[in-house]
A and B are shown apart, each in its own frame.
Chain A
């Protein structure tokens, strides 16, 4: 079955960087996109970016552009997310999630509806001096 297993919790000082991993099993990494979503303590879900299944290219939320890098290693079915210049507001649980899509007829149009069908267990990153 599909599983996304994330790396263990991390503690970093302000200004440092952190690199998280997300290992996929039960399917090939090259067949689905992977998204990263974070959740600060007591807050909602915040979309960070996506790494594409095909070319491994990435698209990031404008909020994180310049500070985030998402990469993939097809040989190990593992995706990585590195966030730099950390500050206390980056303290959060970071989730990877698999992107999926279905074709749906809406009126006369066929539309691809995209969603996140499997999630990792999350990695807590704490930024503290």
Chain B
């Protein structure tokens, strides 16, 4: 089974900061990596699919990069509404998916 890890598990940053979250797969998953944002009490929302493609309607301050086993989610200029937990998820082993443990971003 493909395992996903994320770092850091949590971070605290200020408005306007550039924030980077890393996701690593236990084996190569090409670019089958997606990112989700979850705010308290809400369902997750898709931010990025295919490692780099911004979902329609998502702010351009979110960006994704990487391929193979190492991936990055970057928030270029942190805003108050970005306070959330961010999850990576692999779909390489589709139909089975695996989520990373999440990264909590506090502002």
Give A residues with C-beta under 8 Å from B. Answer: 33, 35, 37, 44-47, 50, 52, 59, 61, 95, 97, 100, 102, 104, 106, 111-117, 119-122
Contact = CB atoms under 8 A, between A and B. Distances in A.
Contacts, number: 79
Interface of B: 30-32, 34, 36, 38, 43-46, 49-50, 53, 55, 67, 87, 89, 91, 94-102
A35 B38 CA distance: 17
Contacts of B96: 47, 50, 59, 61
User: Is chain B's interface secondary structure helix, strand, loop, or mixed overall?
Assistant: loop
Given A45-B102, A113-B50, A119 B31 contact: no
A114 B43 CA distance: 19
A102 B55 CA distance: 12
9 contacts: A37-B99, A44-B87, A45-B44, A50-B96, A100-B49, A114-B94, A114-B97, A115-B34, A117-B46
Contacts of B87: 44-45
B33 to A, nearest CB: 9
A73 to B, nearest CB: 21
